Structure 1
Amino acid sequence: MAELLYRLGRASARRAGTVIALWLALMLAAGAAFALFSGELEDSFSIPGTPTDQVNQRLKDEFSGMGGGMGTVVYQSEDGRALTQTQREEIADRVERAAEVEGVQDVVDPFATEEERDEQRELLADGRAQFQEGKAEAEAAGVLDQVAETLDSEEERLERGEALLEMSSGIVMVSEDESTALVTVAFTDSQEEVSQQTRDAVISVFADDPVPGATVDFADDISMELPGLVSKAEVIGVVVAGIVLVVMLGTLIGAGLPILTALIGVGIATLIAMSLSGVLEIATVTPILGLMLGLAVGIDYALFIINRHRRQLKEGVDPAESIGLANGTAGNAVVFAGATVLIALLGLNLTGIGFLGLMGSIGAIAITVAVLIAVTLVPALLSLVGGKILSRRERGRLSGENGDGKAAGARHGGGAAPMSNLGALGRAAVAIVLLGVIALPALDLRTGMPDGSSQPVDSTQYRAYTAIAENFGDGQNGPLLVTADLPGGPDEESAEANAERYQYEVAHAISILGDVAAVAPIGVSENGTLAIFQVIPVDGPSSESTEELVHTLRGMEPIHGTAPLGVAGMASGNIDISETLSDALPTYLSVVVGLSLVILLLVFRSIFVPVVATLGFILSYFAALGGVVAVYQWGWLGGLIGLENPGPVLNFLPTLLVGILFGLAMDYMLFIGTGMREAYVHGTPARLAVVRGFRAGRAVVTAAAIIMISVFGGFVFSEMMMISSVGFALAFGVLIDAFVVRMLLIPAVMHLAGDAAWWLPRWLERILPDIDVEGSALERGHASVSEPEAEVGGSWVEVPEEGAEAASGGRG
């Protein structure tokens, strides 16, 4: 691979114009595909086969017009007083117009609904009065005993009706002070299948023609503002990355190249991803995830090659030869590092969860483009830039007295000394305790989907959520749809009579639950075997009590001999998705851990190194998860990022974090650990090799980590909490893994292990392929690196004449 990349780098440098033209053509082709084939992005997530999905499918089969998505429109008077009759008529007019929108099944007028409820109360009151009057007449006529059975049956029906009306009293469409009204929109398609065009058409009916003296807002079940791909915070992150590059490389041209190539890469990858939205159900967050990953790794991968090229130029290597060598050595490491991220992301498809696998696949496209650009476009641009990749001072020094082919400062490894055993124990203890403390909040992890309360405070979704909670109760933001199987009857008349009685029994069993605010029967199927109820929880859709209520309802069988209750609705659907993802996480984590052990075994040809490196990844993963829980679930420091209402952690974040953080952690382990291994196989004592390898790789790993933290950190300030939490998790995870695990814990543990760190059974050594990640064999095969010196992970280490021979075989 190293030799192939060497040739590719030299060819790209010789034909720089062609390479640049090819990448520009690819960008134009991706842009054309986007213009021709892009479709709508999805603002919701679904997993077929969940209990909620099964209930929805049954409702579609049993009830005409049922099983579709719902949306809520909130009207409020501007002065806080009761909505006037004129305003009510204006709202009713817009309800009628919205009902005519294609894709809308029905729109409920809140005021007409409340009038119907009042009529029901009057009818029940009249019925009670007539019953009392009839009973009195029967008693006066002396026939009370003869009609007692009929009277008892009638009284029982009245009591059931009165009880049902009382149970449903908490389900209202107009607030008690009549200043707020809820318009309910029923769509023909399921919640996740409602098109953005249909939603926009409904919103325009209410928003484009406002009711004088009233405000209108839309809940997140109908309105989902698509996030912009680029925001000010993300630009700031790129600027910070640029500053780091300038400090490290010392030249604006050197700093600009990684950013330029990364932007080209994410542009192509994002256009490709968006062009697939016409045939695939891609969530709004998916292209942003690809952009986030592509930008971060694109800058880092280009940096690795440019940094290697710069160092070789300062050592007097011919520019053309240096580009090839940089591509064959650092580029080889880039390809391997990219492959680990790629495999981990594609592994998300193993979870069997469609939208998560698609996220991984889109992220894999971004990684693939970043790697290809690093090993082709970067060498081409380096050839055009020439010596300007070095600063004036560096060029002057190279052509002056130190231009003998080796930079005077390059031999920074010679005076290194191993750390003490006590110091190593102290470092390892500090790192493990720190990681353990940070990971503690992960024990309290709750997952879910963001609701209106987590939206920006100036958004229509947040205003709608708040208005509903204040005027109707938190539970009104997440109503549940409950189904109950009924025994039916031998004929239609008895089935109808039984259904009325069974409806009451089911409603009563639900109403006495502590977390239920109200329950109301909606309807019964034609054959009288399935009843539907609307249930309003006491708390909001993302609360623990609502989650427990869903499980309680699904475990109930109010009518013995029938099936347990079924539950649907947005809150129920989100709970099902979260639980499905949580169930898939251990399996996926096991796959990634196994993959980590195999990859590291191949690279480091050691038993000890893969084990400690993988354990380090597990520690950094749970520490990152602990940070997310502390900020987004507990609300610690939430005000700094605009988090007003903490809640459950995004349900697919823990699984997504496994794949991405694993790949990035392997990158850092690669650039820290291979330097140690190269020093060791060239004859350096094991503990001294740890120091030399660490010193050789720490600068580039530090810069790479800061760049990734800056890019990911920019997304923390996104208005969408799901994007913000993903950005935070990745930024914090990189911070922990790079600086605590790779640069504090791993060197300490490697020192304590000594020679045992590189032990490998002979039988295993014989069957393992020799993967030369850093291209040491390539360096030895080219005259630009002379003996008896050999480059070790970025530092020059003196080795004896016989050491060069040992380098090719070395010690295990």
Structure 2
Amino acid sequence: MSTFLYRLGKSAYSKPWYFLTAWILILGVVGALLGVNGIQSSSEMKIEGTESQKVLDMLAEELPAAAGGQASVAFTAPAGERLDTPERTALILKAINDVYNMEYIINPAELAAQAAAAAGQATGANPSAATGQTDAAGQAAAGGQSATADPSAATGQTDAAGQAVASGQSATADPSAATGQAAATAQAAPYGPLLADGVPVPGVMLSADGSIALFQFQFTVQQTSLPSSVPDNIINTVTEVEQAGSGITAIPSDSLKSIPSIGSTEAVGVVVAAIVLFITLGSVVAAGLPLITALLGVGISVGGAFALSSIIQMNDITPILAVMIGLAVGIDYSLFIVNRQRRLILDEKLSAGEAASRALGTAGSAVFFAGLTVIIALCGMLVIGIGFLSTMALVAAVSVLINVLLALTLLPALLGLVGERICTAKARSKNVASVNKARHGFSHRWANATVKYRWIIIILVVLGLGTAAIPVTKMELGIPSGASANLDTPARQSYDIISKGFGEGFNGPLLLVAQPNNPADKISMQTLGKLVQELQMHDNVTLVSPMGVNATGDIAIISLIPKTGPTDTATRDLVQDLRDPASGLASGNDVKLGVTGFTAINIDMSSKLSDAFPIYIGIIVILSLIILLLVFRSVIVPIKATVGFILSVLATFGLTTAVYQWGWLHSLFGFDTGGPLLSFMPILVTGILYGLAMDYQVFLVSSMREAYVHGRRGNDSVVHGYDLASRVVLAAGIIMVSVFAGFIFAPDAMIKQIGFALAFGILIDAFIIRMTLVPAVMAIFGDKAWWLPKWLDRLLPNLDVEGDKLIAKLHAEGGEKK
């Protein structure tokens, strides 16, 4: 490996324009594809194989309108005033009609007209059935949602699917079956319909004090399939009610928010990285090269992902994650190689060209295997079988791969253009003094201290990280909702206003699908009414409304509003009760119940990810242990590296739980309210942290291995290797932490949590585990740390990561090349 990379580095250094031209062409192709295909992304987090997704897929096939996405807008009046004045009602009604007239929005008035026309055609065949269908459709249109006799109950539903089901699909709808239940619910509910000239405004509820109106509507497709202009047009339309003097405020729901974006705070991390590079490498030229390669790597990988986004569905967070990882590893890998080249120039008086080639042969080998470990950790997510998570992992892995290739090809080409200027004359003249100083500098003293007080350090680190990991036992997973958004955001304002006026459960409605246990049976209106009444008796149910039966009579749609919010444990328990065949709700009516909707999907996602987590950990640990075994040719070092990582990742999740779930130091990190952690964050962060942790393991311990291979023994090899690598590992750790920390203050809650976990995970692993615990443990084992059974030594290929064979070959060819 080292010999191949040495030749590659020599070729790139001597013929830089060949390599530069190749990468410029690749960037041009990516730019051209991006221009042709455009940028497409979505907020979809589809979890294949879960109960909620199966129900949603079935609805998409059988009743497409019932599977569309939902959204809402809350209208508020000034304190002590009402919205149902003629002037304000007229403004709200106009805005709602304008929304209903938009493309991709279900319009209940149009559905009612279609149902009336269908009823007219059926009059000759069965007048009574036609009349019942028309009445049901009219009530659904007037009430805004379901085919119930009482509009006040109908207006309470978040899912407008009933508009399509009752008015456009059902030929058997008989509202009388559920009338009593709906009326009773309406009497008990502290809200009713917003009336305009005595007629209910479709899809709008009014709170008991008249200060809050909730407009709920449904799209004809999922939000992920909507053009980006549709949510913007809706927001612009409903905010027109905020006319001078009206006093009305329109607050769109979180489902109408824009996609997460990268803001100015992320640029701070790049600035800090530039400063650290300058301090570490000592010149603007040397510091600029890692930044150039990292930015180019991010541009190619993220641009390429966007260029293919019309073919491969990509989540909104995917490119942001690729930027995070690409910047961090791109800078670190190039820094490691440039630092090794400068050290060879200054310490061994080699020419810049020879030093660059040798740096690629030695440090480049470590970069290659470090990158391979990160890629393995990311690709391990593919076994989980979740589409959007697999895409995120692949895009991030490609970003790492491209940055590794850039570090091994473009970087030596850039070094060839820079030539001897990589080290200034001032740096060369001060080298001897700096070397002597380094031998008695902080890193040398720190290494000796960790070796001397190794047992105390091990005990303190284990106790400290173990204490930090305690909150993990209380970690709750979910999707951050409006309940945990900042107080000044529309998402939080919408959540709080809906909760105040109608109850917290209206922020997380559930969509129930009832089907006969016997496929030959039908669901009668009597069965549906009885089922609705039994559901309404559940302790954690606020409102249940039947939304109709399809034309064939074998699928019934029911909307259910819990009392608790979408991320509450009680809501999760309710979903489990509804699905449980033994609960009596379904079995007593000879039907099977399916539960879907955004809330149910999030609950299922958290459950599936929790189940997949141990399998994922096992896969990446086994594969990475094999890589580390090949790199270090040691049994103890890979095991020690893995144990250290487990300590750091547990402490990381403990801190993340304390901050983002419990709300500790929330004002310091720029958020107002704690909530459940992002459901896929543990798997995502574990994969990334494991890969990056092994980066530092490779960088640091390969220097110790190199010192051991070249004749140093015992603690001397530990201290010497630490001296050689600690400066660059320290710089790399600071850069990583800075880049990831920039995302902590991003506007999106999901990005905040990921940025925090990665930043503090690297902080713990790089500075506490690798630079403190590792030398202490290595000192305990001494030379035995490099023990490898003879039979295994014969089986394993010698990858020569330290470049021992390369140096021997160069000596054999005529001594040290200058």
TM score, norm. by length of structure 2: 0.85
Deviates more, 1:546-555 or 1:299-308: 546-555
Shift of the 762–486 alpha-carbon distance from structure 1 to 2, 3 Å rule, reads closer
What is aligned with 1:721?
749
* Equivalent residues of 2:451, 2:715 under 8 A apart: no
* Equivalent residues of 2:190, 2:208 under 8 A apart: no
2:510 matches 1:480? yes
What is aligned with 2:20?
20
Shift, 1:282, TM fit: 0.5
Q: Secondary structure at the match of 1:754?
A: helix
* Equivalent residues of 1:675, 1:697 under 8 A apart: yes
Task: Give runs of aligned pairs for residues 448-463 of structure 1, distance below 5 A.
Answer: 448-463=478-493
2:389 matches 1:361? no
* Equivalent residues of 1:164, 1:520 under 8 A apart: no
What is aligned with 1:44?
44
What is aligned with 2:715?
687
Deviates more, 1:418-427 or 1:434-443: 418-427
Q: Secondary structure at the match of 1:715?
A: coil
How far apart, in 2, do the equivalents of 1:701 and 1:491 lie? Answer: 69
Deviations 1:177-233 (A, max 9, x none): 222212222111234444434333433433467555222221122x1212333x221
**Structure 2 alignment gaps of length 5 or more:** 110-138, 154-175, 194-204
Shift, 1:742, TM fit: 1.2
Deviates more, 1:385-394 or 1:562-571: 385-394
Deviates more, 1:376-385 or 1:278-287: 376-385
Shift, 1:168, TM fit: 6.2
What is aligned with 1:226?
259
How far apart, in 2, do the equivalents of 1:489 and 1:662 lie? Answer: 49
Shift, 1:29, TM fit: 2.2
Shift of the 604–64 alpha-carbon distance from structure 1 to 2, 3 Å rule, reads closer
Within the candidate set 553, 556, 560, 2:588 is matched to 560
Shift of the 508–324 alpha-carbon distance from structure 1 to 2, 3 Å rule, reads same
2:616 matches 1:615? no
Shift, 1:268, TM fit: 1.7
Shift, 1:563, TM fit: 4.0
2:791 matches 1:759? no
Shift of the 653–561 alpha-carbon distance from structure 1 to 2, 3 Å rule, reads same
Shift of the 385–157 alpha-carbon distance from structure 1 to 2, 3 Å rule, reads closer
2:571 matches 1:539? no
How far apart, in 1, do the equivalents of 2:814 and 2:242 lie? Answer: 79
Within the candidate set 530, 536, 548, 1:523 is matched to 548
2:477 matches 1:447? yes
Within the candidate set 286, 292, 306, 2:318 is matched to 286
2:117 matches 1:106? no
Deviates more, 1:191-200 or 1:279-288: 191-200
Shift, 1:21, TM fit: 3.3
Deviations 1:662-689 (A, max 9, x none): 1111111111212222222333333332
Shift of the 4–171 alpha-carbon distance from structure 1 to 2, 3 Å rule, reads farther
Shift, 1:713, TM fit: 0.4
* Equivalent residues of 1:168, 1:519 under 8 A apart: no
Deviations 1:519-576 (A, max 9, x none): 2222233454443322212221112221121112211332426244321111111111
Task: Give runs of aligned pairs for residues 30-41 of structure 1, distance below 5 A.
Answer: 30-41=30-41
Within the candidate set 250, 256, 263, 1:216 is matched to 250
Size of the aligned set, in residue pairs, is 748
Shift, 1:237, TM fit: 1.2
Shift of the 304–87 alpha-carbon distance from structure 1 to 2, 3 Å rule, reads same
Letter in 1 for 2:715: R
Shift of the 480–639 alpha-carbon distance from structure 1 to 2, 3 Å rule, reads same
* Equivalent residues of 1:238, 1:711 under 8 A apart: yes
How far apart, in 1, do the equivalents of 2:382 and 2:636 lie? Answer: 30
Shift, 1:704, TM fit: 0.5
Deviations 1:381-431 (A, max 9, x none): 223323332244213347xxx69xx96668779999966987211111111
How far apart, in 2, do the equivalents of 1:3 and 1:80 lie? Answer: 80
Shift, 1:114, TM fit: 8.7
How far apart, in 1, do the equivalents of 2:50 and 2:536 lie? Answer: 25
Deviates more, 1:96-105 or 1:726-735: 96-105
Shift of the 110–668 alpha-carbon distance from structure 1 to 2, 3 Å rule, reads farther
How far apart, in 2, do the equivalents of 1:785 and 1:686 lie? Answer: 32
Q: Secondary structure at the match of 2:150?
A: helix
Letter in 2 for 1:22: A
How far apart, in 1, do the equivalents of 2:755 and 2:306 lie? Answer: 20
Shift, 1:273, TM fit: 1.4
How far apart, in 2, do the equivalents of 1:409 and 1:121 lie? Answer: 83
How far apart, in 2, do the equivalents of 1:533 and 1:285 lie? Answer: 33
Letter in 1 for 2:93: A
| Percent identity for Structure 1 against Structure 2 | 39
How far apart, in 2, do the equivalents of 1:487 and 1:54 lie? Answer: 17
Shift of the 242–163 alpha-carbon distance from structure 1 to 2, 3 Å rule, reads same
How far apart, in 1, do the equivalents of 2:102 and 2:286 lie? Answer: 56
Letter in 2 for 1:375: L
Shift, 1:337, TM fit: 1.0
Task: Give runs of aligned pairs for residues 37-186 of structure 1, distance below 5 A.
Answer: 37-60=37-60, 63=63, 65-78=65-78, 81-83=81-83, 84-106=85-107, 113=143, 120=150, 160=181, 162-166=183-187, 173-186=205-218
- Kindly report the root-mean-square deviation, in angstroms, between the aligned alpha carbons of the 2 structures: 3.4
How far apart, in 1, do the equivalents of 2:370 and 2:520 lie? Answer: 69
Shift of the 254–350 alpha-carbon distance from structure 1 to 2, 3 Å rule, reads same
Within the candidate set 758, 783, 804, 1:730 is matched to 758
* Equivalent residues of 1:686, 1:754 under 8 A apart: yes
Deviates more, 1:204-213 or 1:577-586: 204-213
Shift of the 10–572 alpha-carbon distance from structure 1 to 2, 3 Å rule, reads same
2:498 matches 1:465? no
Deviates more, 1:530-539 or 1:204-213: 204-213
Letter in 1 for 2:314: I
How far apart, in 1, do the equivalents of 2:417 and 2:517 lie? Answer: 81
2:458 matches 1:424? no
What is aligned with 1:438?
468
Shift, 1:157, TM fit: 8.8
What is aligned with 2:696?
668
How far apart, in 2, do the equivalents of 1:607 and 1:740 lie? Answer: 22
How far apart, in 2, do the equivalents of 1:455 and 1:786 lie? Answer: 67
What is aligned with 2:120?
none
What is aligned with 1:370?
403
Letter in 1 for 2:101: E
Letter in 1 for 2:770: R
Q: Secondary structure at the match of 1:760?
A: coil
Deviates more, 1:196-205 or 1:725-734: 196-205
Deviations 1:332-380 (A, max 9, x none): 2111111111122122212111111110111012112211221222222
Q: Secondary structure at the match of 2:254?
A: coil
Letter in 2 for 1:523: G
How far apart, in 1, do the equivalents of 2:475 and 2:192 lie? Answer: 32
How far apart, in 2, do the equivalents of 1:360 and 1:117 lie? Answer: 45
How far apart, in 2, do the equivalents of 1:273 and 1:576 lie? Answer: 28
* Equivalent residues of 2:478, 2:676 under 8 A apart: yes
Letter in 1 for 2:414: L
Structure possessing the higher radius of gyration over alpha carbons: 1
Deviates more, 1:744-753 or 1:53-62: 53-62
Deviations 1:276-325 (A, max 9, x none): 21111111110010001110111111111111111111131011111111
* Equivalent residues of 1:168, 1:520 under 8 A apart: no
* Equivalent residues of 2:143, 2:151 under 8 A apart: no
Shift, 1:489, TM fit: 13
Letter in 1 for 2:764: I
* Equivalent residues of 1:104, 1:185 under 8 A apart: yes
How far apart, in 2, do the equivalents of 1:79 and 1:433 lie? Answer: 53
Shift of the 160–738 alpha-carbon distance from structure 1 to 2, 3 Å rule, reads closer
What is aligned with 1:514?
539
